[in-house]
Amino acid sequence: MKQAIIFDMDGTLFQTNTVLEQALDATFEVLRESQLWVGETPIEKYREIMGVPLPVVWETLCPDLTNEVRERSNEYFQKKLIEMIRLRKGALYSNVVEVLKALSYKYPIFIASNGEQEYLQAIVETYELNPLINKIYSIQLIPTGNKSDLVKSIVEENELEHAWVVGDRLSDIQAAKENELISIGANFDFAQQEELKLAEFVINNLEELMIIIP
């Protein structure tokens, strides 16, 4: 039986909160300087919706701005995130490398993320995860922008018969369920307890995967 483990990136392997606030604040400062935004940076609102596709993020944060402005804001935001990642201002969660190394001896490891490809690649390269990950799949690959469809493409492309999907938000859990895979909820920074209740397993640290996954 061909099996694999599919990981989310933000809030599951990478501590996005270590770079999020600074990059978001820098982006909204540009909007304030352009007189396109008044008030504080909506960081808490971003935390609440963490895990949704980026177009939805900017529609939610800036409903009154034009699509063009939202797209420019996202481009600047991504640039700032990548800049900080390359400078190692971010961080992986505890024991990510050790756990991935142990699991990768037996299972292929894939990333399925709502993040953009360049951003995901920056994390993998900066924290030297390339030898442990078989392939990164960004939501940019899927016209629907739906994570369930992204996971489906991983299953089909790699002819998987069974897999575990590890992630912190509802989109990860739904992606597992809709593809008849095992969902493992990561009870980390951005996790919502109501969403985690829908997962088949819940972990409080990555080392617990060694118990759940044989």
pLDDT confidence of residue 136: 98
Residue 175, CA distances (Å) to 4, 100, 128, 181, 184 in order: 15, 21, 27, 8, 11
Are 132 and 109 in contact by the 8 Å Cβ rule? The answer is: yes
pLDDT confidence of residue 202: 98
Give the integer Cα–Cα distance in Å for 145 and 171.
11
Give the integer Cα–Cα distance in Å for 78 and 100.
26
Counting DSSP H helices and E strands in the chain, the numbers are 10, 6
pLDDT confidence of residue 186: 97
Does the predicted TM-score (pTM) go above 0.75?
Answer: yes
DSSP string, 30-48: HHHHTTS--SS--HHHHHH
* 96 pLDDT higher than 80: yes
Residue 166, number of CB atoms within 10 A of its CB = 28
pLDDT in tens, 144-190: 889 999 999 999 999 999 999 999 999 999 999 999 999 999 999 98
Q: Which residues contact 182 (CB under 8 A, 6 or more apart)?
A: 162, 163, 164, 165, 176, 200, 201
pLDDT in tens, 50-86: 777 788 889 999 999 999 999 999 999 999 999 999 9
Read off the DSSP letter of residue 87.
Answer: T
pLDDT confidence of residue 211: 95
Tell me the HSE value of 201 on the side-chain side, using a 13 A CA sphere. Answer: 18
For the chain, what percent of residues have pLDDT higher than 70? 100
Residue 2, number of CB atoms within 10 A of its CB = 12
pLDDT in tens, 107-148: 999 999 999 999 999 999 999 999 999 999 999 999 988 999
pLDDT confidence of residue 102: 97
Structure token pair of residue 6: 């599919």
